[in-house]
Structures are given as structure tokens and as C-alpha cells.
Homo-oligomer: A and B are copies of this chain.
């Protein structure tokens, strides 16, 4: 990153059902169409009405990777929001609220309280007026032309007709004008980026990456925070010719995906931890039958039902331990939204080549966050390699589905082709897929088949890029993270650099196969190694140690449901530099 010259965060808080999404959306669109980068995080609950929802919209003229550490505008839709967050506002910030029903608290120095007389100014009795009025005011505070907002409102309410547009525009106008007359605006002008950006979530990136990879079959059972993938797929099914099915449960989902994959479809599904628990048996069966298929686990805070709307990196060992026995499968944890997208075609090529399941590990932060993206970074026509796939009938005799080849990879024929009739089986089988138990359970045949399958993975690591160290070689501390913490560690490293603390960063994306040797080599040069994880028990650290034997010097961990923001890591690094501690757990301030 390098925080840009314009770096601004708006937060909107209220309860579920107060319509926080709409003002958020309207503002987001304005910024990205202007070519600015966006990173949003929505702190919400597993309820449809009530509770406390807090949406962060961070906008910047350079690329950003987190929703940041500071708030510039706080839009309070209810008293609760005012009470919880006012104390966090720093000098130079604004607090917008409906003066009719919200009492401001004691604001800190330099915090501008901006009461809106909503009832007085409103042309309508619509209970959502306060939202629109606040948006109008925020537009002024940011120094935006009202016209820009008007365009955005028009687009947003297009489908609801002119009357709704007019109503919203006039309410927003009232807020804007009131703000002009009463509040002091931002002293910077909002810059414009080189070209308009698009918006997506990590889930949409995963879905689109799948579509680009050629997914023809998607099945799901709804589960937060993975449901976004289903919604995107369902919406685009007909356009893209993808069969999308909602199934009775996750067991059905996983097995249906395997059935479709066996007939040649690139097939996938997404769920969260509890649903993935139900899929594990099927994952093992795909490995044994040597059918490629992709399973996504979007982690949320556990254990069990846990905190359905909160983030965590707590499913790593579940994914590693999915299903009984030893078997081959890829496990990958994308690091950014673009990486979510790019991972999919890469993973499908690998699972096709090595004929085994692939598992993607994402989390709520990455999957449900909404981010700007430059459309030209989205390659909808990636390289597709289906490996040794037989797709044409033949009259050759002697086809053996599980032929014991040098690489362990056996040419795979799709059902329906003449000349390749065969059975696949979850029981151990011989090269010709005859069950070992059918005659006599031959230990030598058994050993041969285990080794055949395992051989596939002897070389798979070569198809995967080893992780690379980012930052100065002679850093005081090396931070290691995996998956979604990439962004926050990256930003923390830059902040620390600005503060004169040299830290570097090793981000791990591929879990299986694991580049243990490369990692050991890199870390052997580090002065001090600290692992950053969004879990209580340090699942990644323990896994890394299982594969490398490496011990480290300290940990930064968080398991309260809220994601890391950069200063948590910054504080952690400083704490580790100041004294020898084992584990730093940052205090979650924003919402008490």
C-alpha cells in the first residue's frame, strides 16, 4: 500500500433493519466509479432485526487491503451507535446523527458533531429519510458535487421508479444544503482515479473464478458466510449455462458435486465449517475414486454454530483432517479478493491434472467484505488444462481406470464413452477397479495402490509457486500469516516501516502441498519470527511446525470474532520487540 494522499473512512451504524446497506452502497458506488479504491467491512449479527450493525467504508486513491484503523465520518442511525463509537473519533472527524431522536455524547477535541434536523428538513415521513439525509450531508463534507450524488441515487433507485428517485434526491438535497450551511467540510477534495473500478466481494470473486475456470455444476446448502457464492451462481446460472442446485443438506451437496464431476463437469460447492464437517466423508471418497471436485470452506468463528457472522481462521485443522485415512488433496487459502478469483482456475487445473479434490479455505472477512477491483484484473479467459482426460470414444481394449503409471496419474475416461466402460469405487481396488475385498484382500496390491495415488503428489509441489518474503531482508521481525491476514499484515508492515521499524512478511497461501523447505530456508535468515493468526490455538503455527519442525519466537492472535486491523499487528510487533512474550492478543476497541 503506502497510504495514499486521500484515505478516508466512513462508518454507518444502526440496527438490523434500519437500512444500512443502501447508504453504504450509494457511497461505495460514487467512489469506485470515480476510480477510487474501496475496502468495506460489515460488523453484523445473526439476526434479521435489531442488534448493532456497523459498516466501515474505507476509500483511498491507492490500493488498500483493510478497512483501516481510523474513522473520519461516523453516521449514527441510532443512539446505540452514538454511545458506542463517539469516543473513538479522532480530531478532524465528523459525527452525523438525527437530532430528533439521538442525543450526542461528549465529543473529543476536534470532533465535529453534525446534528441533522431530519423531521424538519424532510419532505417525506419515510423512516429511511435519516439515512438519505446523512448521505447528502456526507457528500458535502467530502466536498462532492451534489450532482454526483444525484446520479448515484438515480441509478440506485432506477428500478423503483421516478417517484422514489425524486423523493430520495430531495431528501439528500436537504441534507446536503443543511450541511453546506452548518458544517465545515473536509479540506481536501476527493481525487479521481485513472478509470472506474468495479465492486465485488470475496465470495463473488470465488464464484466468478469458478465460472471462469469452466464450472458447469454448482450445488449448495445455504450457510453464512458462504451463501454469497450460491447467490452469485444462481443469479448467473442461465447466462453462463451452469447447473445450480440447492440441495437438502451438505452431504447431498458434496456427493452431488462428485457425481457431476465424474461426468466431466468442473463442479464445486461452498459452505462454512459446520457444513464442511458434513462434507468430509465425501471429500475422502472423491480422493479414493480419483474424481476432481472443489470444496470451499468459508470460515466463521467457531466452534460449532459459534458466531455465525464473525470471522476466524479456526477451521484449518478440520480441513487438514477432513475424512479418514491418508489421501491426496489440495488445500489453498487465497489471500486477497483477486487471489480468490485467480485461485479457482489454478486449482481446477491442478485437481484435473492430479484427479483429486481441492479445498479452498476462505473466511468471513475475505468472503463477505466488499472491495473495489479494476475490471481488467479479472481474466475471465484463464488457461484451462484438464489433464489426462479422455473425452472421445474408442474401440481400444484394455482400458484400466486406475492404471499404475510412472506419475501415478491414470488417464481418466468420462462415462458415456464407448470403449472405456469402468466402475469407480470408494473401496480399495486394483488397477482395473476391481475391489480388493471381492476376491482376497491382497496386501501387495493394496500397498501398490496407496503408493500409486501418493506418487501423484510427489511432484505436485512443483506446480505451485513457493511463498516469497515481502519487505526488507534484514528486518527486526518476520511476520508469517496465512490466507486472509495478508492484507492487514501488509498494511501493518508499511505503517511500521513509516515508524522506522523494519518488519518483513511471509504470506502463506498453499497449505497442501506445503512448501516446507522453502519456508524453512526463508525463516532461517530471520532474526525473529512472529506468527499472526485469527484463531485461539494457533492452528497454522502448529501445522507449520508439523511440516517443518520450526519453532517461532512469538504469536499475535485474535479470537473475539472481529478481524485484525493494522494497528493490532503494529501493537503486537512493538510488544514483541519490547519484551519476550509468547502471545500478544490485541484489545478489540471499536465496539465494546
> Residues of A at under 8 Å CB distance from B?
43, 45-47, 50-52, 80, 251, 272-274, 276-278, 280-281, 284-285, 287-289, 297, 299, 301-310, 312, 314-315, 317-327, 425-428, 435-444, 446-447, 450, 454, 535-537, 539, 542-543, 545-547, 549-551, 559-562, 585, 588, 591-592
The listed residue with most B CB atoms (<10 A of its CB), out of A43, A315, A325, is: A325
Do the beta carbons of A288 and B317 come within 8 Å of each other? no
A303-B315 in contact (CB<8A): no
Q: When A308-B427, A324-B273, A326-B559 are in contact, do A47 and B438 touch as well, CB less than 8 Å?
A: yes
Q: In the complex the two chains form, what is the Cα distance from A230 to B238 in whole Å? A: 50
> Which B residues are CB-close (under 8 A) to A444?
560, 588, 592
Say whether B326 contacts A322, CB under 8 Å. no
Whether B536 and A426, one on each chain, are in contact in the complex, defined by CB atoms closer than 8 angstroms, is no
CA distance A450 to B560 in the complex (A): 8
Question: How far, in Å, is A104 (CB) from chain B's closest CB?
Answer: 20
- Taken together as a complex, chains A and B put the C-alpha atoms of A299 and B588 apart, in Å, by 43
Contacts of A314 in B (CB 8 A): 324-326
Picked from B272, B288, B539, the residue with its CB within 8 Å of the CB of A303 is B288
Residues of the B chain whose Cβ atoms lie less than 8 Å from the Cβ of A438: 45, 47, 51
Q: How many Å from the CB of A540 to the closest CB on chain B?
A: 11
- Closest CB-CB distance, A262 to chain B, in whole Å? 14
**A437-B46, A438-B47 known; A447+B302 contact, CB < 8 A:** no
Q: Are the C-beta atoms of A327 and B307 separated by less than 8 Å?
A: no
Give the residue of B46, B277, B325 whose beta carbon is less than 8 angstroms from that of A304: B325
**Nearest CB on B from A273, distance (A):** 3
- Picked from B50, B315, B450, the residue with its CB within 8 Å of the CB of A536 is B450
Q: What B residues does A442 contact at CB under 8 A? A: 591-592
Contacts of A543 in B (CB 8 A): 546
Contact B318 A303 (CB under 8 A): no
Contacts of A323 in B (CB 8 A): 273-274, 277, 302-304, 318
Contacts of A51 in B (CB 8 A): 437-441
Contact A307 B537, CB 8 Å, known A46-B437, A325-B301, A542-B546 = no
Q: Which residue in B43, B46, B289, B441 is a CB contact (below 8 Å) of A427?
A: B46
**Partner of A277 from B280, B308, B440, B560 at Cβ < 8 Å:** B280
Are A303 and B321 in contact, with the CB atoms below 8 A? no
Assembly CA distance A297 to B535 (angstroms): 27
25 chain-A/chain-B pairs, Cβ below 8 angstroms: A45-B437, A50-B439, A51-B439, A251-B278, A277-B322, A278-B281, A284-B304, A288-B303, A297-B324, A301-B446, A303-B324, A304-B323, A306-B428, A307-B428, A315-B324, A315-B325, A317-B317, A318-B325, A319-B321, A326-B537, A443-B562, A447-B585, A450-B536, A545-B546, A549-B549
Say how far A581's CB is from chain B's closest CB, in angstroms. 17
New A-B contacts (11) at CB < 8 Å, excluding given A46-B437, A317-B321: A45-B437, A45-B440, A51-B439, A273-B324, A274-B324, A284-B303, A304-B323, A314-B324, A315-B324, A441-B561, A447-B585
B residues less than 8 Å from A274 (CB atoms): 281, 284, 323-324
Closest chain B residue to A541, Cβ basis = B546
How distant is the Cα of A427 from the Cα of B276 in the complex, in angstroms? 17
User: A304–B329 Cα gap in the complex (Å)?
Assistant: 13
Q: Find out whether the CB atom of A326 lies under 8 angstroms from the CB atom of B306.
A: no
Is the Cβ of A45 less than 8 Å from the Cβ of B325? no
B427 touches A305 (CB 8 A): yes
State how many angstroms separate the Cβ of A401 from the closest Cβ of chain B: 15
Given known contacts A312-B325, A318-B321, A443 and B588 CB-to-CB distance under 8 angstroms: yes
Report the separation of the CA atoms of residues A50 and B56 in the bound assembly, to the nearest whole angstrom: 68
- Minimum-distance CB pairs A-B, first 7: A302-B325, A321-B321, A273-B324, A303-B325, A546-B546, A443-B560, A288-B304
Of B285, B450, B560, B592, which contacts A446 at CB under 8 A?
B560
Question: Inside 8 A of A592's CB, which chain B residues have their CB?
Answer: 442, 444
CB neighbours (8 Å) of A450 from chain B are 536, 559-560
Given contacts A277-B323, A326-B537, A551-B549, contact A436 B304 (CB under 8 A): no
A302 near B327: Cβ-Cβ < 8 Å: yes
Question: In the complex, A543 Cα to B321 Cα: how many Å?
Answer: 11
> A322 to chain B: which residues have CB within 8 Å?
277, 318, 321
Checking B304, B428, B547 against A301 with a beta-carbon cut-off of 8 angstroms, the contacting residue is B428
Q: Nearest chain B CB to A361's CB is how many angstroms away?
A: 11
A277 surroundings in chain B (CB, below 8 A): 280-281, 284, 322-324
